[in-house]
Chain A
Amino acid sequence: MHPMTSDAKDGRPVQSWRGPQLALPAVTVLPRLAPLVARPAALRLPIDVPRPAVTRIALGDQRQVVRSFRFQPSTAPAAPVPPKPRPQEPPPAVSLAIVMPPEAATAEPAGEQSGEQVGQGVEPKRTRIAPPADVVKLSERFFYLLQPDLETMLQTSSLGFPRQPFPFQFDGMAFLVPRHGAVLADEMGLGKSMQAISSIRLLVRSGEARKVLVVCPKGLVSNWTRELADWAPEILVAVIEGDPQRRRWQWSLADVPVKVANYEVLVRDRELVAELGLSFDLVVLDEAQRIKNRSSQTSEAVRSVGRRRSWALTGTPVENSADDLVGIFEFVAPGHINERMSPKAMGAAVTDHVLRRTKDKVLKDMPPRLNRDERIELTAEQRETYRRAEEEGVLRLSSLGQEATIQNVFELVLRLKQICNFDTFTGESAKLDCLEADLEEIHASGKKALVFSQWVETLGRLRDRLGRFGALEYHGGMSTAARDECIKRFKHEKKHSVLLLSYGAGAVGLNLQFSQYVFLYDRWWNPAVEDQAINRAHRIGAAGAVTVTRFLAANTIEERIDEVLRRKRDLSDTILSQAEAPAATGLTQEDLFALFKLAPPRAAVLRAAA
């Protein structure tokens, strides 16, 4: 029996059943008997059964749905673009400030570090350019996701760097390049301008940006031109400056990809920019907290410039209140946030637009920094002097009423702070007693310490008392030669264990990483300046941990100021969703009046905070 066969025509497995043909054996008989035994050779028994159902199983013949995306080769970032020729010589009456290649720029960017100092021997990192959240179309998101990593793009486009950037700086570029609205809010010294310049370079070289405007404070224009020469030497730069005729010509230069203007020039030339019909592929604002006040002329002038991309660079996106960030976002992404939002909601809304890193987070090879807040109890006589001065001062301010100015308050604060350092009558100092005890140990162990104060007079008093530790002074009242000599002696002569510095002169530009201790004898108004001071010792190259001691006179104006600054840091943290506070959250005139529980009068117009 063969109940199942297959259908040979289409090869399908088919279930079928046929009745058997019954074949009987042939019988041989005598011919004459044959008719007698004749019978059919085969007996057919037709059996009719229903045809079974056929089951068909599809095996891989379904058509796959495919989505296809095609990219124009020229749209890829970092596509090599030949350097543009330099513009022809300008007419004699005006001149073009052309940034020269690196040989003209020998100075190290202030506060910048180089990635080649760390991370050597580590597997090379691949930095991906992730699409921003506001890129919705899948095809556009694929455009970013399918690009090579940033390091490969730079390498294949022959875009070299004078110094190897840190991995977090590549991350910064990957953040900026795809964004039309971005706030790079890295802590001071992490190289915001370098990251912006390298991103500008990528956009210019790919042809994505042909007209870029950088706006910065007047004092930073030379820094920008120097850094542009350093990090993007092949890109022509014009600085907008000089008389109106010259500026008109500079604004009109069509074949210079990057223009640099200071805020004041932009305010002055606002109508000229409109008249010339200028529009930029990218506008970069440095120190963007300048536009936190939306009704200011600066903010209005900046926002009036036509642009496709808006980047803001600031280490302090939230200086005093959430409104500061709203002001910056009016430039970056108009209407994206408003002052009615809670700090938490605002933080959530800006997540994709703001990138903030702190040194502690990104510079893993930095030595640890140990912060020690030393709460000092004033001596009895110091306390009495302080009490009297405060009572008299507050009484005087109260009597002035609406006539009180911020200057009056500021003077009182300064006087009280000075008493916290030294009793003005007896010369006693609880802080100095504490400092001396610490320095004994530091001196004995052959270590070095930096002591910062905001008053040169305080430094003089300290020098007198700390002579046995070889104390040296460094402040703005000294000649450059004397200051250089001072640093040389402190660095090379073992007997000098202490360097006394003023915040003004000593907080910037010095490399004192051979010092293991930093004392802030009194507090500056703005934590950014304190951080700069601390960074003289706490920087890459430091041999070990740096201990930072901040003296704080208990139950005095110093504690109240510290409290205000802490609150501002907390607010900023909430909005930026970062563990580390922004470096600078300074005191406003309202803050200063509040230190004495006084409401600021309308007449108080001077801004006291640095």
Chain B
Amino acid sequence: MDGTDGGRRDVAAGQTGHGRSMEQKTAEPAVGTAAGPKAYGFLTAVESGPHGIFGGYLLVDALGRPLEFHCTAPVKVSRAQQILFGSTLQSHLHGQQIGATLLAEATVAPEIVLIDSQPMLHVRGHTALPVALVRDGAAGDEAAIVGGFAVGGAVVSPHASDAGRVDDLRERLTELAAAVDLREPFERIRAAIEEAQRH
């Protein structure tokens, strides 16, 4: 279907197989979206008991279909880190160690990076891309939203650095929000990370 099946023989000839994506382990710099489709980033971290924290970054097109996926090996927090970073530990782990690392791996620059947890907002300090927090919210209840906006059943709250760009960010998300629930791609990332742990 994508050319990677080209070498596969037919079932009648006794062989089956699948082949769809390319795995690349070398980091590439972001190259922008000038020539490609619009991209949107979904960045999250998943705590997995004894393993540690996994980071996942999914880039999708305007129809919500995957373009790229990057995930980290589990990050384990030491006792010394817990003591010395104190209350800043989560923002350091999510924002810098996981978030910034994953954003650096992407080959396309998204319109916006959407996150689903407060500590990940700190990734904004390591990227020029706009970052916004997505959470459940009452659709249409604009009055209850301070500094953000409602999209479907979700509320989008930009990082303080992007507070003056609410209209611009809302506009950027219009096309994607018409296709997918903005909370949904995070479920995919979690499913993929779960799969990666089993693999």
* Chain A residues close to B by CB (< 8 Å): 57, 59-60, 63-76, 79, 126, 128, 134-135, 137-143, 145-149, 152, 155-157, 180-181, 206-208, 279, 303-310, 333-334
Q: Nearest residue in A to B26 (C-beta to C-beta)?
A: A68
Q: Which of A64, A141, A310 has the most CB of B within 10 A?
A: A64
Q: Cβ of B90 < 8 Å from any Cβ of A?
A: no
Chain B hits for A309, CB < 8 A: 11
Contact status B192-A75, CB under 8 Å = no
A57 close to B84 (CB less than 8 A): yes
B8 within 8 A of A: yes
With both chains docked as a complex, state the minimum distance between the C-beta of A111 and any C-beta of chain B, in angstroms: 30
Q: Closest 6 A-B residue pairs measured CB to CB?
A: A75-B2, A76-B65, A146-B66, A65-B73, A208-B1, A148-B64
| B128 contact set on A, CB distance < 8 A | none
Does B118 interact with chain A (Cβ within 8 Å)? Answer: no
A67 neighbours in B (Cβ, 8 Å): 23, 25, 70-73, 196
Give the distance in Å from the alpha carbon of A128 to the alpha carbon of B192 in the complex.
12
Using Cβ atoms and an 8 Å threshold, which residues of chain B touch A279? 10, 12
Q: Check A307 against B11 for contact (C-beta < 8 Å).
A: yes
**A306 CA / B16 CA spacing, docked (Å):** 12
In the bound complex, what is the Cα–Cα distance between A57 and B58 (angstroms)? 33
- Chain A residues with Cβ below 8 Å from B98 are 64
Binds A, one of B99-107, B140-148, B156-164, B166-174: B99-107
B81 at the interface (CB under 8 A from A): yes
Give the docked Cα–Cα distance between A76 and B61 (Å).
11
**B92 on interface, CB distance cutoff 8 Å:** yes
Alpha-carbon distance between A139 and B10 when the two chains are bound, in angstroms: 22
- Residues in A with CB closer than 8 Å to B37 are 73
The chain B residue with its CB closest to the CB of A333 is B16
Contact (Cβ within 8 A) A140 B19: yes
A124: nearest residue on chain B (CB-CB)? B181
Q: Check A307 against B10 for contact (C-beta < 8 Å).
A: yes
Question: A308 contacts B8, CB within 8 Å?
Answer: yes
Query: B146-199: which have CB < 8 Å to A?
Result: 179-180, 184-185, 187-189, 191-192, 195-196, 199
Which residue in chain A gives the minimum CB-CB distance to B58? A146
* Interface contact B14-A60, CB-CB below 8 Å: no
The answer to whether A68 touches B97, judged by C-beta atoms less than 8 angstroms apart, is no
Count B-side interface residues using an 8 Å CB cutoff: 63
Tell me if A73 and B61 are in contact (CB < 8 A). yes
Which of B17, B24, B92 has a CB less than 8 Å from the CB of A70?
B24
Q: Secondary structure at chain B's binding surface: helix, strand, loop or mixed?
A: mixed
| B81 & A69 in contact (Cβ 8 Å cutoff) | no
| Count of chain A to chain B residue pairs whose CB atoms are closer than 8 Å in the complex | 179
Q: Which residues of B contact A145 (CB under 8 A)?
A: 188, 191-192, 195
Contacts of B27 in A (CB 8 A): 66, 68
CA distance A103 to B63 in the complex (A): 30
Identify A152's interface contact among B2, B8, B184, CB under 8 A: B184
Contact residues of B between 1 and 50, Cβ < 8 Å to A: 1-3, 5, 8, 10-14, 16-25, 27, 37
Evaluate whether A60 and B97 lie within 8 angstroms (CB atoms) in the complex, with A69-B21, A70-B24, A310-B11 already known: yes
Question: Beyond the given A67-B23, A67-B73, A308-B11, could you list 4 further A-B residue pairs with CB under 8 A, ordered by the A residue number?
Answer: A69-B22, A143-B21, A145-B192, A148-B64
Would you call B127 an interface residue if the criterion is a C-beta within 8 Å of the partner chain's C-beta atoms? Answer: no
Please encode chain B, from 65 to 77, with 1 for each CB lying within 8 Å of some chain A CB and 0 for all others. 1111111110100
Centre residue among B20, B24, B37, B68 by max chain A CB count within 10 A: B20
Known contacts A73-B67, A279-B10, A307-B11, A68 near B23 by CB under 8 Å: yes
Contact partner, B68, options A57, A70, A128, Cβ 8 Å:
A70
User: Are the C-beta atoms of B12 and A303 separated by less than 8 Å?
Assistant: yes
The answer, among B1, B11, B24, B184, for a CB contact under 8 Å with A148, is B184
Does A141 lie within 8 Å of B195, measured CB to CB? Answer: yes
A257 to B199, CA, bound (A): 37
Could you say which residues of chain A place their CB within 8 Å of the CB of B64?
148, 152, 156
> Contacts A69-B21, A139-B23, A207-B1 hold; do A60 and B96 have CB atoms under 8 A apart?
yes
Minimal Cβ-Cβ distance residue in B for A141: B195
**Do B180 and A148 touch across chains, with their CB atoms under 8 A apart?**
yes
User: Can you pick out 30 interface pairs between chain A and chain B where the beta carbons lie within 8 Å of each other?
Assistant: A60-B81, A60-B85, A60-B96, A65-B73, A66-B73, A66-B102, A68-B105, A69-B68, A70-B67, A70-B107, A71-B68, A71-B69, A72-B21, A73-B37, A126-B184, A139-B21, A140-B20, A142-B192, A142-B195, A145-B192, A146-B189, A146-B192, A147-B65, A152-B180, A156-B63, A157-B63, A306-B12, A310-B11, A333-B16, A334-B14
Of B65, B80, B102, most A-chain CB atoms within 10 Å: B65
CA distance A304 to B14 in the complex (A): 11
Q: How far apart sit A512 and B145, CA to CA, in the bound complex (Å)?
A: 54
In the assembly, what is the distance between CA of A375 and CA of B25, in Å? 70
Contact, CB under 8 Å: A146 / B188: yes
CB–CB A307/B184 < 8 A: no
> Are B20 and A66 in contact, CB atoms less than 8 angstroms apart?
no
Max count, chain B CB within 10 A of own CB: residue among A59, A60, A147 = A60
A134 touches B16 (CB 8 A): yes
Decide: B66 and A71 in contact? CB cutoff 8 A: yes
Q: Given that A75-B1, A148-B64, A307-B12 are known contacts, is A140 also in contact with B18, CB under 8 Å in the complex?
A: yes
Q: A60-B92, A146-B188, A180-B11 are in contact. Are A206 and B70 (CB under 8 A)?
A: no
Q: Given A59, A69, A148, which contacts B84 in the complex, CB threshold below 8 Å?
A: A59
Nearest A residue to B106, CB-CB: A68
Q: Known contacts A69-B68, A145-B191, A148-B184; decide if A57 and B97 are in contact (CB<8 Å).
A: no
Complexed CA–CA distance, A129 and B11 (Å): 22
* Complex alpha-carbon distance, A552 and B102, angstroms: 70
Contact partner of A138 (CB less than 8 A), chosen from B1, B11, B12, B196, is B196
Contacts of A68 in B (CB 8 A): 23-25, 27, 68-70, 105
The digit string for B116-131, where 1 denotes a CB below 8 A from any CB of A, is: 0000000000000000
Q: Measured between C-beta atoms, what is the minimum distance from B58 to chain A in Å? A: 6
Whose C-beta in chain A lies nearest to the C-beta of B72? A64
A152 touches B18 (CB 8 A): no
CB-based nearest B residue for A180: B16
Closest CB of chain B to A435's CB: distance in Å?
Answer: 53
- A305, B12: Cα distance in complex, Å: 7
Contacts of A74 in B (CB 8 A): 2
| Complex Cα–Cα for A465 and B53 (A) | 78
Determine the chain A residues whose CB is within 8 A of the CB of B75 once the complex forms.
64
Contact A140 B21, beta carbon cutoff 8 Å? yes
Identify the closest chain B residue to A303 (Cβ): B12
User: CA A208 – CA B68 in complex, angstroms?
Assistant: 20
Nearest-Cβ distance from residue B175 to partner chain A, whole angstroms: 11
Give every chain A residue within 8 A of B179 (Cβ-Cβ). 148, 152, 155-156
Q: How far is the CA of A145 from the CA of B199 in the complex (A)?
A: 13
Are B71 and A72 interface neighbours, CB within 8 A? no
A208→B71 CA distance, assembly (Å): 28
